[in-house]
């Protein structure tokens, strides 16, 4: 029998808040210091071995669609493993689905962002219905009578998993259905029809090609009504207490996000209620999209953090060639580079979340431009970070028992859904062109702090933004990448230690980031890694 040697202990228990210096600083800075105690408790709960195991179980036993009961009646229900339900209960108890709306205060969106950033490190599938419910509130408020009925249940912190009419439940969750088979980015191609049925009610007939978390209590959906594409709330049960005419055709067999169900559905005269003005469905539902896009940036930042924490932890314990991996100069370079990416993502995400806590003109402009920019760049970087962090663990990183394969499989989804990469970049161009004060707000954010490299980068970026060809679609990715990098660098200059700033500006502002571990000489790499290390 061989003796187990040179294997690191599992990174558990690990308080996901207390052990993350960058997150703690961001929460304080972005005005959610009042939430620190609650976040410390949530970080402890999520980082317990029992909770970590729930994340593994929820993915090992994915959901199962039951279209019919034993007698042949349609039931269209999805069954989940108990681990899924336990994780949902933890997330709802912490208010991650609605706390900034139920209890609005300065820093409320930041506090909630910090909570979801930690949730996704343990399990990302549950994040989907949590994000959609959070995002649904401003859209639901456009129909006050619907909001009056639904918001109290959405604000409840009870996770009521029972499949029954929402009136009989203590809590409710909201999903969304926009994407159809023939088009997801171009929503004008939606074909689902909505026939008026009186008093704001409509009957919907058609399909949705993606509808995640189909056991939510209701869905915000788009359909073509007599006045054009409109937004509706479609509950799983009718007001009469009957199952609504929603058939779940099948569940998608997904690359990752396997604990969560994503379905294809058909509506056959399904009851729905109009939300907002008829014919203005896209702007009304995009209100929700802004929040779910923020959540994509939060979720991807959380994935990067978990991948980095696992990598640094492993390198601290594993020895190769008589030295800990963390002390091998080339490994220090790789880890430091990963830490820079993670910190830059976190500071930008939390700054963006603060813009959702404010409602002055500058905050609105910041949200409008930076939400798609942050979603694009942060989500694009995540697959690279999770892959490189996996390699730090060597062969063990490729094995399912480590969390690394799950993080890697999860990494692309935030970039694809809620507006894929190109669509986000085109949206940034549109936002800059149409948003009052956008250019001034960006200029005010792009602090160079006396750093010559940063000043030069900013000057070139601002010149490109003002140039006649700034809306050249073919160059949109390059422009948005540089905007995101400039915003990240400016935040790091303002708030992070100088060794982080030096390494970030030296490595990110010259367009040479083709792989991790290419940081140049003369930087304090060890200090960067120590700052990122998860304290247990």
Ligand X SMILES: Cc1cc2nc3c(=O)[nH]c(=O)nc-3n(C[C@H](O)[C@H](O)[C@H](O)COP(=O)(O)OP(=O)(O)OC[C@H]3O[C@@H](n4cnc5c(N)ncnc54)[C@H](O)[C@@H]3O)c2cc1C
DSSP characters over 479-527:
HHHHHHHHHHHHHHHHHS-HHHHHHHHHHHTTS--SSSS-PPSSS-HHH
Does 286 contact ligand X by CB under 6 A?
Answer: no
Does 471 contact ligand X by CB under 6 A?
Answer: no
Cβ 414 to ligand X shortest distance, Å? 9
Nearer to ligand X, 107 or 175 (CB): 175
Cβ 57 to ligand X shortest distance, Å? 20
By CB under 6 A, which span of 137-145, 180-188, 442-450, 498-506 interacts with ligand X? 180-188
Q: How many residues does the chain have?
A: 536
Secondary structure, 3-state, 311-360: HHHHHHHCEECCEEHHHCHHHHHHHHHHHHHHHHHHHHHHHHHHHCCCCC
Does 210 contact ligand X by CB under 6 A?
Answer: yes
Query: Exposed/middle/buried for 213, CB within 10 Å: 0-12, 13-18, 19+?
Result: buried
* H helix or E strand, kind and range, residue 288: helix 281-317
Inter-CA distances, 294 with 39, 216, 287, 358, 419, Å:
19, 21, 11, 15, 12
By CB under 6 A, which span of 52-60, 135-143, 181-189, 511-519 interacts with ligand X? 181-189
Q: Which of 179, 224, 371, 402 binds ligand X (CB under 6 A)?
A: 179
Q: How many residues bind ligand X (CB under 6 A)?
A: 24
Does 384 contact ligand X by CB under 6 A?
Answer: no
Does 59 contact ligand X by CB under 6 A?
Answer: no
CA-CA distance, 420 to 413, in Å (whole number)?
9
Cβ 178 to ligand X shortest distance, Å? 4
What is the contact mask toward ligand X in residues 64 to 103, using x (rule: CB under 6 A)? ----------------------------------------
Cβ 279 to ligand X shortest distance, Å? 19
| Residue with tokens 């779940």, as numbered in its chain | 248
Q: Which of 201, 286, 423, 462 binds ligand X (CB under 6 A)?
A: 423
Q: Which of 264, 410, 418, 482 binds ligand X (CB under 6 A)?
A: 418
Nearer to ligand X, 67 or 420 (CB): 420
Is residue 15 helix, strand or coil? coil
Does 421 contact ligand X by CB under 6 A?
Answer: yes
Nearer to ligand X, 15 or 260 (CB): 260
By CB under 6 A, which span of 91-99, 134-142, 172-180, 518-526 interacts with ligand X? 172-180
Does 290 contact ligand X by CB under 6 A?
Answer: no
By CB under 6 A, which span of 65-73, 197-205, 277-285, 419-427 interacts with ligand X? 419-427
Q: Which of 142, 212, 292, 332 binds ligand X (CB under 6 A)?
A: 212
Cβ 478 to ligand X shortest distance, Å? 14
| Residue with tokens 């203590």, as numbered in its chain | 170
Cβ 350 to ligand X shortest distance, Å? 25
Does 316 contact ligand X by CB under 6 A?
Answer: no
Rg, C-alpha atoms of the chain: 23
Task: Point out which residues pair with 193 in neighbouring strands.
Answer: 205, 224
CA-CA distance, 367 to 395, in Å (whole number)?
41
Pairing of strands 319-320, 323-324: antiparallel
Q: Which of 80, 417, 457, 516 binds ligand X (CB under 6 A)?
A: 417
| Residue pair 335/312 in contact by the 8 Å Cβ criterion | yes
Does 184 contact ligand X by CB under 6 A?
Answer: yes
Q: Which of 205, 422, 471, 475 binds ligand X (CB under 6 A)?
A: 422
By CB under 6 A, which span of 148-156, 238-246, 254-262, 432-440 interacts with ligand X? 254-262
Q: Which of 63, 95, 100, 177 binds ligand X (CB under 6 A)?
A: 177
Does 257 contact ligand X by CB under 6 A?
Answer: yes
Nearer to ligand X, 74 or 252 (CB): 252
CA-CA distance, 187 to 423, in Å (whole number)?
12
Nearer to ligand X, 136 or 332 (CB): 136
CA dihedral of 212, 308, 341, 325, whole degrees rounded to 10? -150
Candidates 222, 241, 240, 242; CA nearest to 232 is: 222
Nearer to ligand X, 107 or 372 (CB): 372
Query: Exposed/middle/buried for 50, CB within 10 Å: 0-12, 13-18, 19+?
Result: exposed
Q: Which residue is nearest to ligand X (CB)?
A: 184
Does 262 contact ligand X by CB under 6 A?
Answer: yes
CA-CA distance, 407 to 383, in Å (whole number)?
9
| Residue pair 60/241 in contact by the 8 Å Cβ criterion | no
Cβ 177 to ligand X shortest distance, Å? 5
Nearer to ligand X, 43 or 135 (CB): 135
By CB under 6 A, which span of 21-29, 35-43, 412-420, 451-459 interacts with ligand X? 412-420
Candidates 196, 216, 356; CA nearest to 288 is: 356
Does 420 contact ligand X by CB under 6 A?
Answer: yes
Cis bond upstream, residue 13 (ω within 30): yes
Which residues are CB-contacts of 276 (< 8 A; sequence separation ≥ 6)?
139, 142, 143, 230, 231, 284
By CB under 6 A, which span of 85-93, 106-114, 322-330, 415-423 interacts with ligand X? 415-423
CA-CA distance, 307 to 328, in Å (whole number)?
19
Nearer to ligand X, 158 or 186 (CB): 186
Is residue 180 helix, strand or coil? strand
Does 176 contact ligand X by CB under 6 A?
Answer: yes
Name the site residues for ligand X (rule: CB under 6 A): 175-179, 183-185, 210-212, 254, 257, 262, 413, 416-423, 426
């Amino acid at each position: 029998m061989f003796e187990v040697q040179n294997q690191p202990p599992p990174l558990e228990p690990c308080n996901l808040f207390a052990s993350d210096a960058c997150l703690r600083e961001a929460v304080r800075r972005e005005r959610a210091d009042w939430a620190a105690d609650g976040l410390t408790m949530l970080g402890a709960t999520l980082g317990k071995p029992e909770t970590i195991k729930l994340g593994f179980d929820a993915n090992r036993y994915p959901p199962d669609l039951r279209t019919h009961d034993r007698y042949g009646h349609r039931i269209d229900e999805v069954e989940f493993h108990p681990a899924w339900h336990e994780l949902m209960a933890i997330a709802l108890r912490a208010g991650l689905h609605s706390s900034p709306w139920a209890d609005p205060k300065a820093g409320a969106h930041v506090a909630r962002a910090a909570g979801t950033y930690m949730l996704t490190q343990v399990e990302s599938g549950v994040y989907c219905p949590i994000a959609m419910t959070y995002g649904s509130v401003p859209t639901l408020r456009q129909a006050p009578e619907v909001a009056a009925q639904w918001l109290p249940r959405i604000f409840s912190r009870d996770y009521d998993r029972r499949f029954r009419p929402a009136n009989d439940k203590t809590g409710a969750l909201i999903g969304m259905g926009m994407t159809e088979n023939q088009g997801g980015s171009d929503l004008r191609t939606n074909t689902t029809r909505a026939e008026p049925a009186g008093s704001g009610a409509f009957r919907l007939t058609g399909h949705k090609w993606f509808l995640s978390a189909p056991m939510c209590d209701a869905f915000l959906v788009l359909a073509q009504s007599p006045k054009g594409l409109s937004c509706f709330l479609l509950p799983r049960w009718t007001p009469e207490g009957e199952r609504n005419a929603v058939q779940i055709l099948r569940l998608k067999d997904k690359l990752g996000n396997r604990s969560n169900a994503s379905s294809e559905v058909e509506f056959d005269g399904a009851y729905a209620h109009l939300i907002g003005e008829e014919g203005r469905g896209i702007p009304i539902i995009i209100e929700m999209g802004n929040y779910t896009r923020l959540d994509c940036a939060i979720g991807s930042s959380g994935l990067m953090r978990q991948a980095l924490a696992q990598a640094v932890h492993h390198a601290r314990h594993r020895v190769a060639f008589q030295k800990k991996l963390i002390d091998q100069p080339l490994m220090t370079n790789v880890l430091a580079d990963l830490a820079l990416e993670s910190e830059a993502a976190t500071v930008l995400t939390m700054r963006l979340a603060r813009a959702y806590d404010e409602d002055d003109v500058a905050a609105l402009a910041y949200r409008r431009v930076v939400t798609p920019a942050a979603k694009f760049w942060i989500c694009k970087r995540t697959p690279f970070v999770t892959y490189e962090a996996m390699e730090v663990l060597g062969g063990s990183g490729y094995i399912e028992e480590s969390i690394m394969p799950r993080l890697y499989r999860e990494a692309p989804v935030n970039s694809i859904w809620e507006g894929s990469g190109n669509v986000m970049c085109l949206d940034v161009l549109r936002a800059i062109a149409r948003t009052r004060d956008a250019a001034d707000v960006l200029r005010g954010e792009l602090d160079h702090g006396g750093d010559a490299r940063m000043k030069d980068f900013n000057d070139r970026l601002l010149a490109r933004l003002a140039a006649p060809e700034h809306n050249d679609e073919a160059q949109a990715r390059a422009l948005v990448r540089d905007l995101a990098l400039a915003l990240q660098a400016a935040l790091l200059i303002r708030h992070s230690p100088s060794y982080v700033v030096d390494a970030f500006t030296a490595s990110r502002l010259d367009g040479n980031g083709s792989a991790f571990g290419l940081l140049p000489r003369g930087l304090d790499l060890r200090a960067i890694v120590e700052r990122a290390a998860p304290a247990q």
